[in-house]
Amino acid sequence: MTLDTIPDHHSKLDYRGKRLQIPQQQAHDIIRAILSAIGCDAMTAEEVASHLTETSLHGIESHGVMRILQYASQFQSGYMTPSATAELLRTDAGIWQVSGHGGIGIPVMRMAFDQVMALAGDTGIAAVSIHDVGHTGRHGAFADRAAEAGFLTITIGGGNRATWRQVAPHGGARPMLPTNPWCIGIPGGNDGPVVIDFATSKIAGGWIYAARSAGASLPEGCLIDRDGNPTTDPEDYFDGGAILAAGEHKGYALALMAELIGEALLGAVATEANWLVIAIDTRKYQPADRMTTLAEEILADIRSCPPRPGFSKVEIPGERERQHHADAGGMIPLPEETWQQINALAHSLGCG
């Protein structure tokens, strides 16, 4: 484990301190131990620890290892139930749903993807909704796996603005909406799937928690304080401020649509959000090898675009994350303060 400032680290934090290079297995083991000490069963602890460390290796710091601090707090407060087990249900109308029964959402999202792919493999297209669930992790991980198996997937979440007022509507000065993410994945060309996974806000809520944990600032143009003035201080968000919508009116429109899908379509929300996962079996439209060929023609054409000043190349969504994972060498760069907090948490639970 070495100290490094890691200038090339893909992070949205304006962090001037040191980062520790933590081996994936070490981070995995401490996260699994924390979750087990809190009351999660062995399978849940293992799956969540693997998901968080893999997410960090892909360079998605906001949804990676640092999330264990938030998860532990939510379990300890009763917001999430550590002993909950996901349940697959079919309604009288023939609609498939997964209930998380108030537990952490990573195993629940995986179950929903498994089910929707099985259904779409039979019928060509299918949908599964998710209810009563905590944080569902990095959706790009699930979309990437589904795309590798030949499925186009669309994941939309929202419906809990009463609890998670985080984002100001375009033109507004108060937080009114959650970050309401969208994720779309599709089989790609020679370099693998194309995956977009984004909050409808200018920055995901996890980055604000990461900044607070590390004692860092955030990029300009992402936050406003409680008076509607621009700020880069994460504490201003927790003091009644708000995140701005991504793409101004466009991000706001996507967030509002997700809120309507999450609540008006799927019903009242318990715990964090409701989710709709839609899957299409692309092999019903094109043989897999033909789709790869066609996709690669499109993607190669896009990559050939000369970069404008300040950019080294034009990138394809999903490829940077896979390259980050390949370059990471199994090491996770964490702000020193964040790693200290994780170790202090483990010590307080008697497992560190």
Query: Is the distance from CB of 185 to CB of 152 less than 8 angstroms?
Result: yes
DSSP 190: T
Tell me the CA distances in angstroms from 61 to 12, 117, 230, 304, one per residue in order.
9, 28, 23, 29
In angstroms, the CA 332 to CA 305 distance is 32
**Tens digit of each residue's pLDDT (9 = 90 or more) over 211-242:** 888 889 999 999 999 999 999 999 999 999 99
Containing domain of residue 335, as a range? 3-348
pLDDT < 50 stretches in the chain: 1-9
CATH of the domain at 41: 3.30.1370.60
Number of structural domains, the chain? 1
Q: CB under 8 Å, gap of 24 or more: what pairs does 25-31 form?
A: 25/330, 26/1, 27/52, 27/53, 27/56, 27/65, 27/332, 27/334, 28/53, 30/342, 30/343, 30/346, 30/351, 30/352, 31/65, 31/68, 31/342
Q: What's the pLDDT score for residue 10?
A: 57
Q: What's the pLDDT score for residue 14?
A: 66
Instruction: Look at residue 5 and give its three-state secondary structure.
Output: coil
Q: What's the pLDDT score for residue 204?
A: 82
State the residue for tokens 């499109």.
298
Task: Work out whether strand 19-23 and strand 331-335 pair parallel, antiparallel, or are unpaired.
Answer: antiparallel
Q: What's the pLDDT score for residue 238?
A: 94
Nearest to 9, CA basis, from 319, 321, 315, 333: 333
